[in-house]
Chain A
Amino acid sequence: MTVVTSRDAETIIIGGGLVGTAIAYGLARQGCKPLVLDGGDRDIRAARANFGIIWVQGKGPGMPAYQRLTRRSSDLWPDFARDLREFTGIGLDYRCTGGLSFCLGADEFSARSAVVQRMSEEFGEATYDTEMIERSVVERLLPDLRLGQDVVGAVHCGRDGEVNPLRLLHALQTAITTLGGSVLGDENVTSIVPRTGSFIVTTATCTYHTPKLILAAGNGTRELAQQVGLDIPIRPQRGQLLVTERMAPIFPLPTVPLRQTAEGSILIGSTQEEVGFDTGTNTAGAGRMAERACRILPALENVNIVRHWAGLRVMTPDGHPIYAQSPTFPGAFCTICHSGVTLAAAHALEIAAALMGDVLPDHLKPFHPDRFHVSAAN
């Protein structure tokens, strides 16, 4: 017979992925003792499809607030990474070098130009950090790369960078516990019952009482949010990835769809598939990724693939994050995004502090899920 215990917590974060741990780390830095309830090792985790890029370009078409949030996070990243490294001793392989997305053929180049132009206008400031660059500029940025002939140019953003996402997660978990918080694995939440001014959170082994609850459970958030009166219309989106054997360093900066890790492996991303909760892989997806990778870098043709896997991203209807407090049960918040790496610095250093308060600050208001309601379109 399982003994069910009862425990009080200052703040509970449901979800121990990059979003939940970044927020918990931020809370712990403020002197709070957060309790992170994480799922099991075999649960679906968005972090498994993670490419490890801090990516600003292309984020936020149609929502300038998201463009600003992403840039803010990128600007916070150097301090965030340095603090974590100094505090935990765990290096993150972080670097902010700028990044680029390859354009193959003139049609891709003009289509991407139009998007950058539109986003620049929506951003509405005199200078914009994302630009189209010609092949000759790409060659200067990647002097050791023998580019394929189809590469005509790229989208470039100086705020883009990269990090080892596994080390990031390890460092965040370490920092939380060192600061007096807790991260509990295999602690799947089965129900949330709101009471006046508090919440009862139940798992298989324990009943927790907390006045503040933050839902950061990725693709598992939808069902939990319903129990605190929030409608969070998210869906999983599958991303398959390939990774090669280790190669001598040839990429001084991250690109889409190729990134070389600090160890030398080259990550090849990534499919975007609407297949529900299926985490399988297929040769068709691998073939499309490999074909594009070889058009960019023909030398990859003979390089060995050592692993092929898939993960599920957390997607909202417009692709932008959701930050919201329950209108019916204040004290319950929801944080959803598909950019747990990029936004980690903002989550830890600014949004966690905002969640300590009773109302979300104005700059997060555009991220409320009310924007998905039919009436919002009128």
Chain B
Amino acid sequence: MFRLLTDPTDEFVRITIDGVDVSARKGEPVAAVLLRTAPFTARTTTVTGAPRAPYCLMGACFDCMAIVDGVASQRTCMIAVCEGMRVVRQQGKRTQTP
């Protein structure tokens, strides 16, 4: 679907999505990584459980929310990738943990 356009100066780091090791460009939005990583979704909704993928990519639509480094409901389009980041796709309503 989407593929990463690289530049020779890019620096790459390792992050995990749902525990799976993924390569990502340091500093790119986490949402961009989700968009090119199957099944290309960020979360399921709190009402019907339907899947949602990053959409507006500017912090307005809240469809790209996921659990980042243990904090739920983070807009992944507003968060820059860094080494060792743990991203978990959020299922339905958030809980007390994380």
Interface residues of chain A, those whose CB is within 8 Å of chain B, are 144-146, 245-248, 250, 263-264, 297, 299, 302-304
User: How many residue pairs, one in A and one in B, have C-beta atoms under 8 Å apart?
Assistant: 33
Task: Tell me the count of chain B residues lying within 8 A, CB to CB, of chain A.
Answer: 12
Q: Mark B70-98, 1 if CB is under 8 A from A, else 0.
A: 01110000000000000000001111111
Instruction: Report whether B93 and A264 are in contact in the complex, using a CB–CB cutoff of 8 Å.
Output: yes
A302 touches B93 (CB 8 A): no
Q: Which residues from B are CB-within-8-Å of A264?
A: 46, 93
Closest-by-CB residue of A relative to B96 is A299
User: Separation in Å of the A365 CB from the closest CB of chain B?
Assistant: 49
Closest A residue to B97 by beta carbon equals A299
Nearest 8 CB-CB pairings of A with B: A299-B96, A246-B46, A248-B93, A248-B95, A246-B93, A264-B93, A302-B71, A304-B73
A250 to B96, CA, bound (A): 9
Cα–Cα, bound, A303→B73 (Å): 8
Which B residues lie within 8 Å of A304 (CB)?
73
Interface residues of B (CB under 8 A from A): 46-47, 71-73, 92-98
A146 CB contacts on chain B under 8 angstroms: 96
Least distance between A145 CB and chain B CB atoms (Å): 8
Q: Which A residues touch B73, using CB under 8 A? A: 245, 303-304
Q: Please, how many angstroms separate the alpha-carbon atoms of A270 and B54 in the complex?
A: 35
- CB of A294, distance to nearest CB on chain B (Å): 12
A302 lies within 8 A of B98 (CB): yes
A302 with B92: CB separation less than 8 A: no
A303 and B93 alpha carbons, distance in the complex (Å):
11
A246 to B62, CA, bound (A): 13
A302–B95 Cα distance when bound, in Å, is: 11
- The smallest beta-carbon distance between A259 and chain B, in angstroms, is 16
In the complex, residue of chain B having the shortest beta-carbon distance to the beta carbon of A304: B73
Kindly list chain A residues whose C-beta atoms are within 8 Å of the C-beta of B71: 302
Residues on B with C-beta less than 8 A from A303 are: 72-73, 94
